């Protein structure tokens, strides 16, 4: 499996482009192989797959996280359509605490984003009928879930809404600001 891996401005968040092999019928792409990921230094064990459909452009889901001991890393890709995927560092003591990175993921480009535990995750749909498919390193544990408001001015995410009205769940619209929560994550420097 060939992987092109690029760290983003927050280097723990990785943009991954798996190889695609195409012909007149379409293409084939191996999007996950435990051994290939481990050889590239990514040894996160994934235990759950999720698949979400958002019908309308401008649908925002997030910013979500699960607290320890059920924290989740996520490997995110777009199954159909196009989305802008975002990771926000919420690890207390991190040099990038409260900062965000994002990347466009689409069916066309086949890119994936690896969002480590300690980051809040969210996305906005850029095309109708957009599907997001992602692996999680722990199963869903509602008693540990948390959220941060998508439009927190201190974070300042530049959502590419292109004039579309954001479509939000009631829960996401009422999420607290980052400064209103006590983050359950602590930064641990690696040497």
Does residue 187 have an active-site annotation?
Answer: no
- Distance (Å, rounded) from C-alpha 171 to C-alpha 11? 30
Per annotation, catalytic residue among 134, 140, 164, 187: 134
> Which of 34, 49, 44 has its CA nearest to residue 14?
44
Structure-token match 């798996």, residue found: 18
- The string of DSSP letters for 31-100 reads ---HHHHHHTT--PPP-EEEEEEE-STTBEEEEEEE-TTS---EEEEEEESEEEEEEEE-EET-TTTT-E
On the CB side of 143, CA atoms within 13 Å amount to 2
Q: What is the widest separation between alpha-carbon atoms in the chain?
A: 53
Per annotation, catalytic residue among 32, 51, 64, 121: 64
Does residue 64 have an active-site annotation?
Answer: yes
- Distance (Å, rounded) from C-alpha 175 to C-alpha 149? 5
> Which of 102, 1, 124 has its CA nearest to residue 58?
124
Catalytic residue positions, numbered: 64, 134
């Amino acid at each position: 499996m060939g992987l092109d891996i690029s760290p983003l401005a927050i280097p723990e968040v990785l943009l991954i482009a798996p190889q695609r092999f195409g012909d007149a019928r379409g293409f084939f792409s191996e999007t996950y192989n435990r051994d290939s990921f481990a050889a590239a230094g990514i040894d996160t064990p994934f235990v759950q797959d999720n698949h979400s459909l958002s019908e309308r452009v401008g649908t925002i889901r997030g910013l979500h996280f699960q607290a320890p001991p059920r924290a989740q890393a996520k490997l995110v890709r777009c199954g159909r359509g196009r989305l802008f995927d975002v990771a926000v560092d919420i690890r207390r003591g991190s040099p990038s605490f409260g900062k965000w990175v994002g990347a466009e993921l689409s069916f066309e480009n086949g890119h994936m984003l690896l969002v480590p535990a300690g980051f809040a995750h969210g996305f906005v749909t850029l095309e109708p009928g957009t599907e997001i498919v992602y692996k999680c390193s722990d199963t869903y544990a509602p008693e540990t879930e948390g959220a941060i408001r998508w439009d927190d001015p201190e974070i300042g995410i530049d959502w590419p809404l292109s004039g579309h009205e954001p479509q939000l769940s009631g829960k996401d619209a009422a999420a607290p600001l980052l400064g209103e929560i006590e983050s359950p994550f602590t930064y641990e420097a690696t040497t």
